[in-house]
Chains A and B, each alone.
Chain A
């Protein structure tokens, strides 16, 4: 089910309130985005834990997240 980039941003911010989120629409079909997320919540978290935190914002609405977060 496609999603608006604003909705992607909102979902991430609802899970990570202090997040600075930049969304890039990769294909224009509402299904493939890249998200650049900066947050203090990532401090002392391993890379995979950071990904899981963002992934949890979508609680199951994301089928296969290929996330590329810094």
Chain B
């Protein structure tokens, strides 16, 4: 089995076993990149529970995730195993209320009011 396959399996397992996963630089409490911090902040504001994966601690995941999702940048947000997007997309979705709708459609609890930051 080639390296990318085994990394893909590791990533698949992570996104399958957690409702919401944020692959980011740093951790939710101490983000180490502005884009990662922005997505973590949005998830915190809407009151979403999520698993943070610090790609800085795992170079296989840091590179492998880009092939896995066919998306070249970090952060990457996954909801119920589906790739939602990076910082730009998550921010746009949040501003349009689409992110909150997605969570509700997937039966994931979030704060009800669509607060702005």
By a beta-carbon cutoff of 8 Å, the part of chain A in contact with chain B is 46-48, 51-52, 55, 63-68
Contact = CB atoms under 8 A, between A and B. Distances in A.
Contacts of A51: 85, 89
A65 B83 contact: no
B72 A48 contact: no
Contacts of B73: 64, 66
Interface in B82-117: 83-86, 88-89, 92-93, 98
Nearest to A50: B89
A48 B83 contact: yes
A47 B72 contact: no
B70 A47 contact: no
Main secondary structure of the interface of A (DSSP, over half): loop
16 contacts: A47-B85, A47-B89, A47-B93, A47-B98, A48-B85, A48-B86, A48-B89, A51-B85, A51-B89, A55-B71, A55-B72, A64-B72, A64-B73, A65-B72, A67-B88, A68-B92
B92 A48 contact: no
A47 B83 contact: no
A54 to B, nearest CB: 12
A63 B73 CA distance: 10
A16 B84 CA distance: 22
B72 A68 contact: no
Given A47-B93, A48-B71, A51-B89, 12 more contacts: A46-B84, A47-B89, A47-B98, A48-B84, A48-B86, A48-B89, A51-B85, A52-B70, A55-B72, A64-B73, A66-B88, A67-B88
Contacts of A64: 72-73
Query: What 3 A-B pairs come out closest when comparing CB atoms?
Result: A48-B85, A47-B89, A48-B89
